[in-house]
Structure 1
Amino acid sequence: MSFTVAIVGRPNVGKSTLFNRLVGKKLALVDDTPGVTRDRRPGDARLVDLKFRIVDTAGLEEAAPETLQGRMRAQTEAAIDEADLSLFVVDAKTGLTPVDQALAEMLRKKGKPVVLVANKSEARGSDGGFYDAFTLGLGEPTPISAEHGQGMLDLRDAIVAAIGEERAFPPKEDEAVTDVDVRAEAVEEDEDYEPEYDETKPLRVAIVGRPNAGKSTLINRFLGEDRLLTGPEAGITRDSISVEWDWKGRTIKMFDTAGMRRKAKVQEKLEKLSVADALRAIRFAETVVIVFDSTIPFEKQDLQIVDLVLREGRAAVLAFNKWDLIDDPQAVLAELREKTDRLLPQARGIRAVPVSGQTGRGLDKLMQAVIDTDRVWNRRISTAKLNRWLEAQQVQHPPPAVSGRRLKLKYMTQVKARPPGFMISCTRPEALPESYVRYLTNGLRNDFQLPGVPIRIHFKASENPFKPKKTRKIY
C-alpha cells in the first residue's frame, strides 16, 4: 500500500463503521456501546481508485496512563505516530465536545496531515454540528455517513488533497520478466507420490483460550513490542486482531482473539460478538494455539475449547502460560503431561509447551511445535503405503463378524489433507463398530506419525459389479 491512514476520534462517533465501509467487510465489531474498539485493527482499504492501509483505533479519552482507558489512548497515539494521515471523525449529530477540542489540539501538535470527517451528517439536525466543526481549526470538514455510504467521493478527494497526488497514486514499477519454470506442469500422481512440505508458505496461527490466560501478552513477546493492549483486567481483547511477523524467515500471521467463557455465562450482546469473531479466526487459521493458565489448568472450559478446535479440523498446540509462577516446574510438568494424555484422548500426542509471556521463556519451542504440527496437518500418505498398512492391520486384528457375516476392508486412500482424511472401501460400512474405527485411527496415528491432529476416516460401500444396473424406462 502507498500510505497508511489512522481513524481517530472520541468513543462512539462511528470509527469502526467507517473502517468496515472502507475495507468492504465487517471486520471490526460495531455496537451502540461506547468504547467497543480497544486495540489497533489494520486493514486494506479501497476508496474508488484509491488504495491505502487503514487502521481502526480506540476512542480517545482523557485518563491516567495506568488505567485501561489510558493504555487504550497510548495505543491510539502509537497508531497516529505510525500513520501518514489521520481521519479525525466527529459526530455531526451530537456536535462537538471538550474531548473533540482536546483531540484536535493533540493532532495539531503531531504535525501530520489531518482530514476532518463529520460523520452521521445524514441525520436531521446535523447542520449545526457540521458548522461547529470549523471551529476546530483543522480545515473544512467532510460530511459523510459511514453507515449509509454517503459522501465517500468527497472523502476520497479530501484524502488525495491532504496526502498529495504523488503519494496517493505512486507510479507503477515495471514488472520484471522472470523465467518460466517449465517443471511447473501438472505431475501425474502415482500410488507412491507424497508431496513435500512447503517450508516457505505463510502460516496462519490463532491464539485462543479462556479470559486472562495471557494471550495478548504472549503475542507482544513474540513481536518484541506492546502491539496489543494488555493488563490485569479480564476480557480486555474484544476484536480478533491480526499481526504479521517473521520467524526464521517464514511469515507468520497471528490472530489474537477474545477470551472464550462458558456459553451459559455469555449473555451480553458485545461478548457474543467477540466470541463469534474468535470462532471465525479459528476457522480461518491453520494452526491454533490454545493457551492454558498453568496455575489453574485443565478447567472444563479449557477442554471444551480444545475439543472445539479439533472438531473444526484445525491443528492444535497447547501452551501452558505463566510458567514463571510455578514453584516446582518438574513435578507440575509431569502432572500436566499425564492429564493431557488422560483428558484429551481424541488428540493423542498433542504437543504441549510450557511458556511465559512475561519472560519470553519457551517461545521458540512453541513456534517449533506449531511448525511441526502444521507439517503433520498437511501430510499426505501414498495409496500404496496405506493399502499395505490396511492389509497388515486386518491380519493382526480382523474386522468382527456382524450377524454371522465377516466385514471386509478392501481398499484405502487419502482423499484430503488439512486435516488428514481417508476413505476405506468396505462391505456394509454401517455395521462397522466404533471400536474398530478407533483401532484404525490409533493405528494410523502411531504408524504414520500423526500426533495431535484430527484424523477422519470415511467408509464407503463398494459397488457390486454383478448387480444389474437399473435401466431407464421409456414410455
Structure 2
Amino acid sequence: MARRLPVVAIVGRPNVGKSTLFNRLVGKKLALVDDLPGVTRDRREGEANLLGLDFRLFDTAGFEDEDPQSLPGRMRVQTEAAVAEADVALFLIDARAGIVPLDAEIARWLRGSTTPVILVANKAEGRAGEAGILESLELGFGDPVQISAEHGEGVADLFEALLPHIDRGDDGDDDDDDADEDGPLKLAIVGRPNAGKSTLVNKILGEDRMITGPEAGITRDSIAIDLAWPHEGGARPLRLIDTAGLRKKAKVQDKLEKLSAADALHAVDFAEVVVLLLDATRGLEVQDLRIADRVLEEGRALVIAINKWDVAEDPSSLFQGIRKALDEGLAQVKGVPLIAVSAATGKGIDQMVDVAFETREAWSKRVSTGQLNRWFERAIEANPPPAPGGKRIKLRYVTQAKTRPPGFVLFGTRVDQLPESYRRYLVNGIRRELGFGAVPVRLTLRAPKNPYGK
C-alpha cells in the first residue's frame, strides 16, 4: 500500500505569491497566476517534490477576514480546513510590501492553530525586501526563510526548514521501490557479436527459442521474453531482452546492422539491469569497455559475464586479468559484478541471474534523509573537505533526490570548488556504507542562493 504523503499548506493574504510557489514546487502550472489579488478561489492541491522530499501541497485562497457566507469568507474557511489537515503550514508574506494588518491577523490566527508554521518571506531577492524581512520578526515565528518563488531562489533553505516536519525517517520510504521490485526484472543481454548471447538466452529458457549459429549478427532484432525464474522463496518474474550484437561503428556497414545496433541501445534504455557478455576466448576488448561505459552513462545497473568458460585457457589468470582491467577501465564504478558462465553447459547462469536481482535491489534502494545525514556527518568528520586558498568549503547536508539510478543532492557553500577526489570519496562512501554496491550513483552539488548576492 502506498504511504500517505505528508501535507504542506501554503497560507497568506492575497497576492503574496502563493500560486507561484505552488507551481514551482509541483512542477506544473496547475494554479492560475495573475497580478490581480484573489485569483485562486478554491483550494488547489498537487504532489510536490523539493530536492527529494515528496509531499502533497495545498495552495489556499487568499485569507480574507470577512463574513463566512461571502466569497472571501468562504475562501477563509477553505484556508482553515487546509491548515487543519496539514502537517506543516508555510505562512507566506511579501518582503517588498512589508507587514500589513492582514498579515498580523493571519499570524494571530495561526498561532492559535496546532499545525507547525514556517514563516516564508517571498520576493526577497535584491535589497527591496530588507525592511519587510526585519518587520516580519514581530509576527512571532522567528527568522523567515527568504525565497524568490518566481526565480527559484532560497530553495535549499526552504528544504532545510521543511525537513524536520515532513521527513518520514526510516519507515515506509521504500514502498514505491518495492512496487517496482515486485515487477519483472527487465534484464537486457548485450555484447559484441558472437559472444554467445542467443545461446545464453536459450539455456536460460531451457528451449531453443532463438536460431543460434556460429555466424556473427544472426540476431537482428531485440526480443523480449517473459518467464518465471525459480528461486528458493518462490518463482520471480523475469523479462529477458536478447539484443543484436554491438560492434565497432566502423564495422557497422549495412543498414540492417545499423538498425540492429540502434535496437540494442534502445533495449538498454528499457532495461533495469544489463548483462554485458564477454567472450572468454577473446578476453576483454576496448569495445567491451565502451559498451559498459555506455550502459553506466545511461544509469543502468551492470553485471559482466564471461561466456565460454568451459573452453577458456588458464581461467584463473583470465578472470583476475579481466577484473583488474574492469576496475581500471570503469573508474567511475568499482567492483562491477563479474561472473564466469558457460552458455553451452549452463554453468554460472543461476548465479548470474541471482546477482542481477540483487543488483536491481541496490539500484532501486532509497535511504531516509535522516539516515543519509547521519552517515554524512561521520564522513565529513573523518575526512573534512579541503580549504582552497584558505577559505573553508562548508558542506551542510545531503538528500536522495531519486532512485533507479540513485541520485543525491549535496548542499553547501563554495561547493563549486570541491575537488573531484572529494566527490569520489563521498560517492564511494555512499556505495560502501549505505548498501548501494556497484551501481551508478549520481551526486549533484548545490549552493543555497543568497537573496542579497546581486
Distance change >3 Å, CA 430–CA 468, structure 1 → 2: closer
In the alignment, which residue of structure 1 is the partner of 2:79? none
Q: Does 1:276 align with 2:258?
A: no
Amino acid at match of 1:200: D
Once the two structures are superposed, residues 65-85 of structure 1 have per-residue CA deviations (whole angstroms, 9 ceiling, x without a partner) of xxxxxxxxxxxxxxxxxxxxx
The letter for the 1-side match of 2:380 is Q
Greater relative contact order (CA < 8 Å, ≥ 6 in sequence): 2
Structure 2 CA distance for partners of 1:402 and 1:469, relative to 1, 3 Å: closer
Q: Whole-Å Cα distance in 2 between the matches of residues 327 and 296 of structure 1?
A: 10
* Counterpart among 350, 366, 379 of residue 364 in structure 1: 350
User: Partner residue of 1:254?
Assistant: 240
Q: Which residue of 2 aligns with 1:321?
A: 307
Amino acid at match of 1:244: D
Residues paired across the two proteins, number: 281
Partner of 2:218: 236
Report the counterpart of residue 195 of structure 1 in structure 2: 174
Contact 1:419 1:454 (8 Å CA) reproduced? yes
Alignment check: 8 A CA contact 1:347 1:454 kept? yes
Write out aligned runs for 1:415-454 (5 A). 415-454=401-440
Report the secondary structure of 1:280's partner residue: helix
Matched, 1:335 2:321: yes
Amino acid at match of 2:174: P
1:413 aligns with 2:426: no
In the alignment, which residue of structure 1 is the partner of 2:131?
none
- Find 2:372's aligned residue among 386, 396, 403: 386
**1-structure distance, mates of 2:340, 2:366:** 30
> 1 CA distance for matches of 2:396 and 2:285?
43
Structure 2 residue aligned with 1:160:
none
Residue 360 of structure 2 aligns with an amino acid whose one-letter code is D
- How far residue 350 of structure 1 moved from its aligned partner, in angstroms, is 1.0
* 1:273-320 per-position Cα deviation (integer Å, ceiling 9, x unaligned): 111111110001111000000111210000000000000000110010
Q: Matches of 2:185 and 2:289 in 1, distance apart?
A: 25
Is 1:463 the counterpart of 2:445? The answer is no
In 2: Cα distance, 1:285 partner to 1:234 partner: 23
Which is worse superposed, 191-200 or 387-396?
A: 191-200
Gaps of at least 5 residues in structure 2 are: 1-165
AA of the residue aligned to 2:364 = N
3-state SS, counterpart of residue 291 of structure 1: strand
SS in 2 for 1:403: helix
1:334 shift after superposition: 3.0
Q: TM-score, normalised by structure 1?
A: 0.57
2:411 aligns to what SS in structure 1? strand
Distance 1:310 1:226, change over 3 A: same
**Secondary structure of the equivalent of 1:425?**
strand
Q: Is the 8 A contact 2:398 2:408 kept in 1?
A: yes
Is the CA contact 2:363–2:439 (under 8 Å) kept in the aligned structure 1?
yes
Indicate yes or no: 2:373 matched with 1:373: no
SS in 2 for 1:424: strand
Q: Distance in 1 between matches of 2:336 and 2:182?
A: 24
**How far does residue 230 in structure 1 lie from its aligned partner after superposition?**
0.8
| Amino acid aligned to 2:239 | K
- Do the aligned partners of 1:294 and 1:323 also contact (CA within 8 Å) in 2? yes
Which residue in the other structure is 1:50 paired with? Answer: none
Amino acid at match of 1:236: I
Q: Give the equivalent residue in structure 2 for 1:212.
A: 194
User: Does the 8 Å CA contact 2:167/2:369 hold for their aligned counterparts?
Assistant: no
Whether the 8 Å CA contact 2:283–2:318 is kept in 1: the answer is no
User: Are 2:276 and 1:290 aligned?
Assistant: yes
One-letter amino acid of the structure 2 residue matched with residue 268 of structure 1: D
Q: Distance in 1 between matches of 2:388 and 2:321?
A: 42
1:469: Cα distance to partner? 9.4
Identity %: 51
Q: Read off the aligned partner of 1:319 and give its amino acid letter.
A: A
Alignment of 1:112-151 (within 5 A): none
2:206 matched to which residue of 1?
A: 224
Structure 2: distance between partners of 1:425 and 1:189: 17
Residues 330 and 468 of structure 1: CA distance in aligned 2, closer, same or farther (over 3 Å): closer
> Deviations for 1:207-226, whole angstroms, at most 9, x for unmatched residues?
00000000000000001111
Structure 2 CA distance for aligned equivalents of residues 250 and 189 of structure 1: 32
Q: Distance between the aligned counterparts of 2:335 and 2:362, measured in 1?
A: 12
2:299–2:405 Cα contact (<8 Å) kept: yes
